[in-house]
């Protein structure tokens, strides 16, 4: 695989599913991303005290916070961060949510986790760093 511009980017994965986090971390790490994960707001806040992500990949439906709330929160605090919404929702719904909340893109879990690194790379490459 050739080197792309996205290798080495710091990616924060936020999802309440340990399985999703595990699989997504594996796929993204194999693609050269530097991945950290959070399953809750508490984990997220602890992580952000000494680490800043370049890309936030967040599930939309979680018990203590929604991905759209996180999107707004990150966009207010980190000007250059890319926020990508991730969900089982239909792509059309995800596209509307991404637009409404100012996300940089979305990934449908329906496509399967193996597509994740390619989709994240495509969204990253659409941005001038």
Q: Determine the Cα–Cα distance for residues 88 and 124; give it in Å rounded to an integer.
A: 21
What local confidence, expressed as pLDDT, does residue 1 receive? 38
Does 10-125 carry CATH code 3.40.50.2300?
yes
Q: Using 50, 70 and 90 to split pLDDT, how confident is the model at 3?
A: very low
Strand partners, 55: 11, 82
**Domain parsing of the chain, residue ranges:** 10-125
**Over the stretch 13-65, which tens digit does the pLDDT of each residue have?**
999 999 999 999 999 999 999 999 999 999 999 999 999 999 999 999 998 89
Q: How far apart are CA 24 and CA 31, in angstroms?
A: 11
Q: What is the pLDDT of residue 110?
A: 82
Q: Is the pLDDT of residue 124 over 80?
A: yes
Query: CA-to-CA distance for 38 and 52, rounded, in angstroms?
Result: 13
Q: For the residues 108-128, what does the mean pLDDT come to?
A: 84
Burial of 114 per CB tally in 10 Å (0-12, 13-18, 19+): exposed
Phi-psi label, residue 59: left if phi above 0, alpha if psi -120 to 50, beta otherwise: beta
Q: What is the pLDDT of residues 92-117, one digit of tens each?
A: 999 999 999 999 999 988 887 778 89
Helix (H, G, I), strand (E, B) or coil at 46: helix
């Amino acid at each position: 695989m050739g080197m792309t511009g996205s290798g080495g980017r710091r990616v924060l994965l936020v999802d309440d599913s340990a399985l999703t986090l595990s699989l997504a971390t594996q796929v993204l790490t194999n693609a050269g991303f530097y991945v950290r994960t959070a399953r809750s707001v508490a984990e997220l806040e602890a992580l952000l005290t000494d680490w800043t992500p370049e890309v936030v990949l967040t599930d939309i439906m979680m018990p203590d916070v929604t991905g759209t709330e996180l999107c707004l929160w990150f966009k207010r605090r980190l000007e250059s961060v890319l926020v990508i919404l991730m969900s089982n929702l239909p792509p059309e719904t995800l596209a509307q949510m991404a637009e409404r909340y100012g996300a940089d893109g979305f990934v449908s879990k329906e496509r399967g986790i193996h597509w994740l690194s390619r989709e994240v790379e495509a969204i990253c490459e659409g941005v001038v760093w």
